[in-house]
Structures are given as C-alpha cells and as structure tokens.
Amino acid sequence: MSTSNVRQLEPQALWNNFEDLNAVPRPSKKEEKVIAFIENFAQGLNLDYTVDKVGNVIIRKPATPGMENRRPVVMQAHLDMVHQKNGDTDFDFDTQGIQSYVEGDWVKAKGTTLGADNGMGVAAILTVLQSQDIAHPALEALFTIDEESGMTGAHNLQPGLLKGEILMNLDTEDDDELSVGCAGGIDININWTYAQQELEGNYTGMELSVRGLFGGHSGMDIIYGRGNANKIMNRLLWGMGELHGARIHSIDGGGLRNAIPRESTAVLAVPVDHVDDVKQHWDELNKTLQSEFATTDPKLHISYKECPAPDKVMAAEQQAQLINAIQACHDGIKRMSPDVDDLVETSNNIARVEVQHGEAHIQCLTRSDRESGKMDMAYSVSSPFSLIGATIELSGSYPGWKLDPNSPMLGIMKNLYMEMFEEEPRVIACHAGLECGLLGKPYPNLEMISFGPTIRHPHSPDEKVSIPSVQKFWKYLKEALVRVPEKA
C-alpha cells in the first residue's frame, strides 16, 4: 500500500506531520537534515526557536488565551531513529524516506524500521505547535538529537535554556502506561588485535549464517528472552577449532548498540577431511537451537554453504581465546527488580561482533536502574576480554530516572486517564533509557512524566504503531495540556 493511506488516517494533521518527518533521513549522529526540517517548520509558523551547540532544537509557543497563568510545559521527543532493515531489503537510510503503509489497525514500513520511535512523539508536538484550536500553557518544544546511539543531545543540554516546570516526554510505547522512571546505561567498546596466519594444507571455505531472529529493543524487549545472533553464532563456533581444525576468517554479527542482534555471518576455513563432521555438528546444533528458541524465535534459521577458502585466518590459540571470552560474556537479564513487579533491573546486550583483518571489535550496552548494578555488570562484561588482552572503553554513561510516586502531575495524569478511559493506567518504571534522567541533571526541579501511543517491535524492521492507540494518545495529550495546574 502507498503512504497516501497513512495520510488519510485520523487525526490527519498528526499523521501528515509523521509522514513529512519520515520523508527526511534522520539516522543517529546524522541529523543535519531533520534539524533543518524542524527549523523550517518553526520559521513557517513564525515561532521563536533556538538550535543549541549540539543540534537540539527548542521551539517556543505562547500560551493560548486564558492559559497564561498555567505552569509552563516542555514537550520533548528525540529526532533520530534506529535504522534497521531486513537482509533482502534494498534501502539507503541516508537518502531515502521511510515507506510506510497501513495494514489493518497498524502502520508499518516496507522492510525497515518505521521510526514511530520517536517519530510519533515528534509529530504530536509539531501538531500542537501548528494548531489554532488546542488550548495549552506556554510551551517549549524540545527536540533532542542522537538519543538512540548515545543520548548526545540530552547529555549536552545546558542549564538556562528551558523555562518550563513540567516536562512531557512522549517516548513511551504502551498507551496505558505512565512512565515515571527508567534505567541508566553505559556502552562497552572492546577492541582486540590478533595474528593472522596463512593456511597450510587442504581447506575449503564455509560461510555460516544465523538469520530469522526476532530482535527488538535491547531495553524494552530484553525481558522476552529472545535469541541473540552473536551468542548463537558463538555456540556454533565454540570448540570447532579444537575438534575439527576449523579456523575463523571473519565474523559480522549484529548492528546497533540498542538492538538485539537478529543476524550474524561467519566465514571459516575447514579441513577438507572434516567438512562432513562439521556439517553434521551444525545440523545437530541447529535442531537443538530451534527447539530452545521455538517460542521466542520460531523463524530462527541456521544455514551454511561452501565457498572459496580464505587466504588468511585467525591464529588458533587466539581463536580459542576470543570464542571463550564471548562465551563467558553475559547476555540478557542479570537481575529482576526486587522492588517493582516484572521490571528488569540489570541486563547486557552483546550488540555487535566484528572480526576481520586482524582486528576484533565487540560492542555491548549494559543497563540498570541502579548505578552500582550498572557498573558491576559493565565490569563483569569487560572481564573476560581483559583476560585476553583486549582494550576496554566504557563510554556514553547516562543515569537512570528515579521513580517519584508522589509527583503532583502524575496524580493529575492518573485521574485524567481514569476519567477518559474508565480504567487505571499502569504507572511504571521501564528498562529502556529514556532521556529524562539526563534532562533532570541541568533542570533538577523539572517535574517529568512520559507517555505515548502503542508501538510494537521498535528497533527492528517489524516495528509498527497502533492506529487506534495514536487516536487515544492524541485525545489524552490534548486534554492533559488543558489540565496543567496554575502557577504556584
């Protein structure tokens, strides 16, 4: 279906802003085009705006008549989106706009991530800014950059730019949730060099692939126990050198730091007289893995094919060291919260494994709602690689956002939700890394709450947003702006 179907959805103004936004390439760390798009939007409405030194955009809109004495509000969303595509999809994220379409009650994208995370939040804010009939207090629209790959925008937001007293973060992904807390995170970058050797003897090349995993958001979806392509590939490679003389030429697994890896490919050299044994080993392990992941990843597919033997391979002793280090590295949930039901406290995602030309690069993202738990997990992840002489860099650390159950705005939002929808919202803390924890550092008195429409499978090509949920979220957001209390 064409994107025109999306533009015809209600509320049309919001969906048209979403489609206009999705026509603009906006990968993390390459937000120049979308920043210009937001600037042009503000200029077209003759609204005052600021672009700070890192690229965050702040647009200011005065209160509507009769709302001047209400507490000023910051509406916040991030401009960048996760770029993931299916292996058979031909798409250039740097130059092409997302191709969205309607399927039943959902909006999806053709073979790529949709960008509803956080494009729906951005589009909602744009729609409020351009509206002539939505009542609201004085508004500051804060559009941050690079949320998905380091929270650079939130990290570098300076004190004194914002005057608002209440922040509405529109980056929650279930329409019945009010988020008032989130996990902190830290990136672990592992770099290692190894010796390459030329093959001696009769070898054939083997290309081994892991495909069809569900993937998803490494914070929100880690609780489901989905397969990690990097860990599964490592299980397929573990012991192959010692048992069958197989030697690694290259590994290419995973992608973005905050996405559970869906695919991995390795190229190996296998002694000709061991090829049948290697194939049998992989066939047996394939059956075991498909049984293990039948519930979470029913489309898991492991395949292999012969290819020309590579010229160079990893030295045998170092191959064993690397495979053992990855095997020892924790992936997934480490601890559930003892304080909040069904909330992950601490986890790690082995997001990227890249091995070629004498260098290995491994990237992990560790999350925890406790600073001590976050750092303990980071040190645990780093340790196996330190033992083999790798260089470890910890970077991009951001704090969690501590839940405040006594927030006055939370009480207003809970009562409004019950009034409008005749049920209680779920007040939660989430395991994802919302920007609120960082935004609270330069603005410690800012009262914050996060909510949004229902989005499924963010950070994967299966991402989709619920059409009825967007309509529900939009009505709730408009009424929430009306209910903002008066200034003290």
Residues labelled as active-site residues = 80, 147
At 107, list the tokens. Answer: 């909006």
Q: Which ranges in 255-355 belong to alpha helices (H)?
A: 275-292, 316-328
Among 136, 177, 140, 120, residue whose Cα is nearest residue 49:
140
Judged on CB neighbours under 10 Å (0-12, 13-18, 19+), 299 is exposed
Straight-line distance from the first to the last Cα atom of the chain, in angstroms, rounded to the nearest whole number: 51
∠ Cα 253 255 261 (to 5°): 65
Decide: helix, strand or coil at residue 102.
strand
The β-bridge relationship of strands 312-314 and 301-307 is: unpaired
Using left for φ > 0, alpha for ψ between -120 and 50, and beta otherwise, residue 342 falls in left
At residue 193, what are phi and psi to the nearest 5 degrees?
A: -110, 150
How far apart (Å, rounded) are the C-alpha atoms in residues 237 and 304?
A: 12
At 1, list the tokens. Answer: 């279906």
Decide: helix, strand or coil at residue 189.
strand
Among 32, 13, 16, 15, residue whose Cα is nearest residue 24:
32
Using left for φ > 0, alpha for ψ between -120 and 50, and beta otherwise, residue 245 falls in left
Q: CB within 8 A of 56, min separation 6: which ones?
A: 142, 143, 144, 145, 153, 156, 157
Q: What length is written for the chain? A: 488
CA distances in angstroms from 402 to 152, 368, 484, listed in the order given: 20, 11, 22
Among 199, 205, 272, 267, residue whose Cα is nearest residue 233:
267
How far apart (Å, rounded) are the C-alpha atoms in residues 268 and 251?
A: 9
DSSP annotation string for 18-66: HHHHHTS--BTT--HHHHHHHHHHHHHTT-EEEE-TTS-EEEEEPPPTT
